Amino acid sequence: MSEPSCYVKDGKIFLRRKDIPRKSQVMKKLGVKKNTFAGNMISRVYDYYFDGVLNLRKEYRTYYRKEFSSVEEFIEEHFNIEHNEAIKLAADDYSIKGYSYRSIESNIETLNFDESFKKAFSEAVGGLADED
């Protein structure tokens, strides 16, 4: 894979859902078992990044088709994203997940300071570029 499957920018996580492996695949690749300390930690990190994502195309078709003339315009104006970035997100069928430092799982963000963990998790899910 030449490009990361997901990236973090301005407090939002953008991802191509089709490129993200299942949680069980990530746990197997990292060599952790379910219901262990490491397994629970990986499960929580996985859920933090990949559960509750918003499919941009589906959101546009369902709620915003009358307000915006295209998916690109919807992404650009609704999420305040640059035009070139909006075109890329629409073309590659990205999904988005916002996160907050106030969330219950905000302590997961502290794991990003551990470079070896960050690299291992990133490789297990196909690449995670943190642009923040």
- Per the model's pLDDT, the better-predicted residue between 6 and 62 turns out to be 62
Assigned domain for 45 exists: yes
Residue in the block written with tokens 């933090």: 48
Top pLDDT among 57 and 14 is at 57
CA gap 32, 42 in Å, rounded: 8
Q: Does residue 120 belong to any structural domain of this protein? A: yes
Task: Kindly list the distances between the CA atom of residue 115 and the CA atoms of 59, 65, 69, in Å, as whole numbers in the listed order.
Answer: 35, 42, 43
Does a structural domain hold residue 62? yes
**Residue 111 confidence (pLDDT) above 70:** no
Domain region containing 96: 6-124
How many domains is the chain partitioned into structurally? 1
Asked if residue 117 is part of any domain, the answer here is yes
Is residue 83 a part of any domain in this protein?
Answer: yes
